């Protein structure tokens, strides 16, 4: 595959952005799980597992907001 330099730079920047977003999602999950999963273990999760964990966290946040109970 050959691409012009500008497209290669765009592709690399896009991949870097995706990698940073994935790391942020994993670190957020580790924080919300209060250490029950390490960052190294989180890095080994599949994409599907990460999305399921994120959905559970989001659901718990919504429940906390609706109930008015403290979360942090």
- Buried-exposed string 48-61: b where 16+ CB fall within 10 A, e elsewhere: eebeebeeebeeee
**Three-class secondary structure of residue 71 per DSSP:** coil
> How many residues would you count in the chain?
72
Per-residue pLDDT of 40-61, as tens digits, reads 999 999 999 999 999 998 998 8
Per-residue pLDDT of 34-44, as tens digits, reads 889 999 999 99
Packed helices 5-32 and 47-67: angle between N→C axes, nearest 10 degrees:
50
Residue 1, pLDDT score: 67
Domain positions in the chain: 5-65
pTM: 0.74
Contact 31, 24 (CB under 8 A): no
């Amino acid at each position: 595959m050959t691409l012009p330099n500008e497209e290669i730079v765009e592709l690399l920047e896009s991949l870097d952005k995706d990698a940073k977003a994935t790391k942020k999602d994993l670190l957020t999950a580790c924080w919300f799980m209060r250490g029950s999963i390490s960052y190294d273990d989180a890095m080994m999760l599949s994409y599907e597992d990460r999305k399921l964990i994120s959905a559970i966290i989001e659901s718990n946040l919504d429940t906390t907001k609706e109930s008015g109970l403290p979360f942090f």
